[in-house]
Amino acid sequence: MPKNLARLTIGVRVSFKPRAFTSFEEANKFNTTKASDERLFGIITAIEVEGRSSIAVIDVDGFAGVHARIKLDSLKYEKRQPAVLQQRSSLKLKQMMLRGLWITTVIAAVMMKMTAVMMKMPMLTRNQWIDEEVVVDDRLVKLSYTRDPQLTLPQAAYSTPMAFFKHFLPMEYIGQHVVLAINAKAAYLSIDYWQMLTVEEYMLWIGLWTCMVLIPLSDRSEYWSKTPTFLLTSPLNFSRWMSRRRFETILQAHTLEHPTVIQSSADPLVDIRAFVNAYNDNLAAALIAGKTMTIDESMNQWLGKVSRMPNVKKIIGKPHPVGQEFKNIADATTNIMIRLDISEKNQDGKEFSDKPRVTGCILRLTKPWFASGRTIVADSWFGSPAVAAELRKKGLFSIVSMKKRKYWPRNVLRTSLRTYLEFMDHITCSTTLPGSTVSHVVKENNRSRRVSFQRAVVFDDYNEAKGAIDINNNIRDNMISYHDVIRTNTWQHRSFAFFLAVAEANAFLAWRTFGPENLRGITHFKFRERLASELVHAYEYNGTENTSSASAGYHSLVVIGKKVGSNGKKYSMQKQCQHCKRRTTKMCVCNQLGVCTACIPTHFREV
């Protein structure tokens, strides 16, 4: 028998660690856990034999009437009574607080002052736990917004996917600005036989893109094929709605800003800036946000050359690490994105540019909801005390996470937060894990015990709302989306595909909450199928009625033609430009008069 076990007899004082208990329930009887490193002391009152094991019955100190049953080989023989743990002396405290103060005299002076203050305070140890609930939530004592989100679409419960989709697009801006800009660019590029684009035909064009998203093919020409294939026994035959030549010329002329504005501006993002502003105004009006909103970022992926996109970024860890970044805000209840902010280096000219970069970004995103009492949730990239204070000034509450940076909190100078808290008079036990009731192990008088407490509501609100933007991004990216079928090397088209994808994701999320009750459970694929069908058939006839007739007031720049000279050679016919009087080989079908390339914008405005 080992020497240690030979000394373990009845009446001997021993000690053991909680891991020697046979079950967690037995450890709980002694207010500890099996994972604790403390040692329990007691006296052996009896020794029993169970099979091949010898079990000692121990009267544990401090637990009268409760006995522990521990195997002999898990016990340690104790010669004498363990010494009572003493509090650290004042000299020990001063030595620990002054550790590392040789760096600068300023830091030394601050730490000496802190030590002097703490020497006057009553010494409360970490073992003096008080079971008490501490709640710090400004929303409980001040007016806060508590209503649920509301969709502003009339008769939403009886509407169609197309109505939801158009509700999240700036249709008025598209009709009054985008379509005119496309016609102007087509004239500027002198696209032969261009016919004036209308809003109806433009929506049909978007509907065909939606069909391509629904049924992705590697070659775009296959959508206009009339010949059955191995996979497509019934050809799609898009020529029923629009010729391929017309489709490609609209893509060639597509722009979100007028060509003259683009040429006269030095802003690298002028192509999309006005559209983003109109897009944001429409989103803010499309949904009355609920009580909680989430701020995060989204990436519009870019696969071309970095130099061809003005604000391209590379963020390691993102599903699409290279692309155009947008900071955005979403309603946390429905996950609908309701505002975008272009992420760019140059902040000059942007609203709140006088504020720090992060603060200005958050203020731009939350501006429509100032003084509404809503709660803003954000991650550590946005979170800081300055941001929380600025939002409170604007009448908004905030729940943000913050990173532990150097010298934060400010009183912790080059000292770890754990070391500093050893000398504090109050230590709070909390958690960020899911679950309203939380059980935690605390140490008290060199023993461990398990306590239960209610988690603060702010943790529940944060965990419920923090993934709103991520959910929207996943719905937009997890399936084939517009940017997968609009495969061009033009970053403006890539941005346009991103805006369409956000509108489609918002429409689907709104459909699941506000749509017809018997259809809210349909899948994203079924929703997209209904949307594509409605867009194509709703604008089918209006989109194909465009002709070369000049009676409708259309502007279409065409080549005048050629004539055969007296020598038998062909010459281009010319006319005098109706604006600058120079000779030109092109004319407009609206009045059959000559128009040169330089006078196209003037002609569109005046005629």
Residue with tokens 């004592």: 141
pLDDT of residue 116: 46
pLDDT of residue 121: 43
Residue 126 in this model has a pLDDT that exceeds 50: no
Residue with tokens 């699409």: 320
d(CA 171, CA 35): 63
Torsion angle, CA of 39/44/48/50, rounded to 10 degrees? 10
Which tokens sit at 125?
């140890």
Looking at the structure, give the CATH architecture of the domain made up of residues 3-77: Roll (2.30)
pLDDT digits (tens, 9 = 90+) for 161-201: 999 999 999 999 999 999 999 999 988 888 877 888 999 99
Q: Of the ranges 377-391, 404-418, 538-552, 587-601, which one carries the lowest mean pLDDT score?
A: 538-552
Q: Where are the beta strands (DSSP E) in 117-247?
A: 150-151
Q: Where are the beta strands (DSSP E) in 447-525?
A: 447-454
pLDDT of residue 158: 92
pLDDT digits (tens, 9 = 90+) for 278-335: 999 999 999 999 999 999 999 888 776 666 778 777 777 777 778 888 999 999 999 9
pLDDT of residue 137: 74
d(CA 114, CA 349): 46
Residue 375 in this model has a pLDDT that exceeds 90: yes
Positions of CATH 2.30.30 in the chain:
3-77
Residue partners of 478: CB distance under 8 A and separation at least 6: none
Q: How does 155-194 read in b/e, with b if 16+ C-beta sit within 10 Å? A: ebeebbbbbbbbbbbbeebbeebbbbbbbbbbbbbebeeb
Residue 256 in this model has a pLDDT that exceeds 90: yes
CA-nearest of 42, 337, 362 to 168 is: 337
What angle in degrees, to the nearest 10, is found between the helix axes of 90-97 and 105-120?
Answer: 150
**Host H or E run for residue 249:** helix 244-253
Of residues 228 and 360, more confidence is placed in: 360
Over range 435-450, report the average pLDDT. Answer: 69
Which tokens sit at 127?
């073992």
Residue 249 in this model has a pLDDT that exceeds 60: yes
CA-nearest of 450, 482, 426 to 214 is: 482
Which tokens sit at 265?
């501006």
Residue 410 in this model has a pLDDT that exceeds 60: no
Residue partners of 105: CB distance under 8 A and separation at least 6: none
Q: Is the Cα dihedral 511, 513, 518, 522 positive or negative?
A: positive
- The distance between the two most distant Cα atoms of the chain, rounded to a whole number of Å, is 134
Asked whether 536 and 205 are in contact (CB, 8 A), the reply is no
Which tokens sit at 226?
């009339």
Exposed/middle/buried for residue 450 (C-beta within 10 Å: 0-12, 13-18, 19+): middle
CA-nearest of 82, 47, 41 to 61 is: 41
pTM of the model: 0.67
Asked whether 365 and 327 are in contact (CB, 8 A), the reply is yes
pLDDT digits (tens, 9 = 90+) for 323-350: 888 999 999 999 999 999 998 888 778 8
Over range 236-256, report the average pLDDT. Answer: 90
